[in-house]
Amino acid sequence: MGNYLNSRYGKVLKKLRKELDLTQAELAVRCSLEPSYISLLERELKKPGFDTLWALSKGLELMPSELLRKIEEHSEVGHGDGSCASKFASHHIGGKLYDEITD
């Protein structure tokens, strides 16, 4: 995921936070994170791990796959380059949409 998370995830995070009219402190409370950590993420000085992405998605009222999709849409990584970002597939199972990484 290296290059994938080196994309513009910070700008996406900030945009989504502002769309919900949340301060960094309010988002931090929703995510059980420190406000200073939200700031570091938005400025892309820290890379979010899986647990952080999961917490952020819940705090932003998104499914984790939706958050990753939004990051991918604003990524500097080109589509179809063989990176993890370009290897997602969606499937409907039992009326729900699930995403998976394909080989």
Query: What letter represents residue 30's amino acid?
Result: R
Give the span between the Cα atoms of 24 and 4, in whole angstroms: 23
CB distance 68 to 78 below 8 Å? no
66: nearest Cα among 12, 6, 28 = 12
Distance between CA 91 and CA 101 in Å, rounded?
11
User: Is a pLDDT exceeding 90 seen at residue 27?
Assistant: yes
Kindly state the average pLDDT of the residues 4-26.
87
Q: What is the mean pLDDT of the chain?
A: 79
pLDDT for residue 99 is more than 60: no
Residue given tokens 């301060």 in the structure block: 23
| SS3 at position 80 | coil
User: What's the alpha-carbon Rg for the chain, to the nearest Å?
Assistant: 14
Element containing residue 14 per DSSP (H, E): helix 9-19
* Burial class of 8 by CB neighbour count within 10 A (0 to 12, 13 to 18, 19+): middle
**Model pTM above 0.75:** no
- Model confidence at 73, in pLDDT bands (50, 70, 90)? confident
